[in-house]
Copies of this chain bind each other. A is one copy, B any other.
Amino acid sequence: MALIVHKYGGTSMGTTERIRNVAKRVIKWVNAGHQVVVVPSAMSGETNRLLGLAAELEPKERGSNTRRELDALAATGEQASSALLAIALQSEGQDAVSFTGWQVPVRTDSSYMKARIESIEGQRIRKELDAGRVVIVTGFQGIDSQGNITTLGRGGSDTSAVAIAAAIKADECLIYTDVDGVYTTDPRVVPNAQRLKTISFEEMLELASLGSKILQIRSVEFAGKYRVPLRVLSSFTPWDIDLAEEAQSGTLITFEEDAKMEKAVVSGIAFTRDEAKVSVLGVPDKPGIAHSILGAVADAKIDVDVIIQNLSKEGKTDFSFTVTRADYDRTLKLLNEKVLPQLGEGTSTVGNPHISKVSIVGIGMKSHAGVASTMFRALSQEGINIQMISTSEIKTSVVIDEKYVELAVRALHTAFGLDGDSAIEVPKRNDEK
């Protein structure tokens, strides 16, 4: 008997028929002798419907008081879907009880709309499990120390599920979603992308932060911190497929050192679109210069991603960074009006709102030279110019012209031996192809 947390996304909870199927799937696990906690998202479309109503009424400037109310509003979506799932389980003869974030309680800080979980009380959940019930806990939400309702931001139900799994020391957390696992890259770009049977926690963290939308990044961080075995799998298989098969399906995010030894040097390729590059040219090369530029950008709440400072020539340097495309105009305006006057004569800005970032990720990189050179050679062979480079222990990112993004992803997928005929096999080491 194991203690398992199931998380179901909004699409899986989208209709009463689908909720009934979730109930049947959960009961299959219970009948196999497991204790199950379920964390459902709101029915698909519900959060948007609620926030759409709010948008018709909202003040122009969202203060903390308005964000508080938006959280109280949005939290109703998960409360409703959780109650409906409990009713569906009861209807199928399975005793079940739903809890909201405040009933557990799931304690968070007070950052409305992007709260962070601080602690979860597992006692009430365990008590109900031991009484033979399926326990349903609303995803996405908690309460702060003042008893206000908070939400964790989009995708926050993933984080709720992992955090609850950590709190009750679950044996595994299963994220049921509308894809059947983690792929070597986006199958819409590379049709013969392969599903990974396992991926290391560090790699998953990089993939999540580099644009893969499969898991909210904070859920991966939580899994890492508390070492919660996490599996991403499809909720669109028939509910009555063999449990042993289902339990091994999808992609398992692991923490085992030996698991990584069998892994490819590069496990996956991530990419983002909708980025923009901004450069400040002719900057005097002296201490504090990065802060004088990026400090102003940070003060304007603009997130910066890749940052590059060129070699200095004649006491001058060029300073480049990327921002999301939505922030591009605002960033250039800020630099021209606020920053350049402070930097002095001879400085100027230049930008490109149509760039993309492509990243290779693999824990095997740590110990393998030649990975970057394989990457650069593959891109060069396709005539793709690399505009910026950024590296960490287990990833290498390049910034390129947006129009080459698919070409670059496909070339790298082949160069690192990730192409496959089936979507089941794990890619093998192949960094010198």
Contact = CB atoms under 8 A, between A and B. Distances in A.
Nearest to A92: B59
A317 interface: no
Q: How many copies does the complex hold?
A: 2
A320 interface: no
A90 B65 contact: yes
Interface in A51-93: 53-54, 56-59, 63, 65-66, 68-70, 72-73, 75-77, 79-80, 82-84, 86-88, 90-91
A292 to B, nearest CB: 37
A149 B73 CA distance: 17
B84 A73 contact: yes
Interface in A188-204: none
A21 B77 CA distance: 25
A102 interface: yes
Given A79-B76, A80-B76, A69 B56 contact: no
A57 B88 contact: yes
A100 interface: yes
Contacts of A19: 57
Interface in A76-123: 76-77, 79-80, 82-84, 86-88, 90-91, 95-98, 100, 102-103
A8 to B, nearest CB: 15
Interface in A1-53: 16, 19-20, 50, 53
A141 to B, nearest CB: 12
A63 B73 CA distance: 29
A341 interface: no
A295 interface: no
Given A76-B80, A98-B72, A91 B53 contact: no
A147 interface: yes
A61 to B, nearest CB: 10
B100 A87 contact: no
A85 to B, nearest CB: 9
A100 B97 CA distance: 20
A125 to B, nearest CB: 13
A36 B153 CA distance: 32
B54 A87 contact: yes
Contacts of A83: 54, 69-70, 72-73
A245 to B, nearest CB: 27
Contact of A87 (B20, B70, B76, B97): B70
B147 A65 contact: no
A149 B59 CA distance: 31
Nearest to A56: B16
Nearest to A19: B57
Contacts of A102: 102
A110 to B, nearest CB: 14
A97 B53 contact: no
Interface of A: 16, 19-20, 50, 53-54, 56-59, 63, 65-66, 68-70, 72-73, 75-77, 79-80, 82-84, 86-88, 90-91, 95-98, 100, 102-103, 147-149
What 5 A-B pairs are tightest by C-beta distance, nearest first? A76-B76, A73-B83, A16-B56, A59-B91, A72-B83
17 contacts: A54-B83, A54-B84, A57-B87, A58-B87, A59-B90, A59-B91, A65-B90, A65-B95, A66-B87, A69-B83, A69-B86, A69-B98, A70-B87, A72-B82, A76-B80, A100-B149, A102-B102
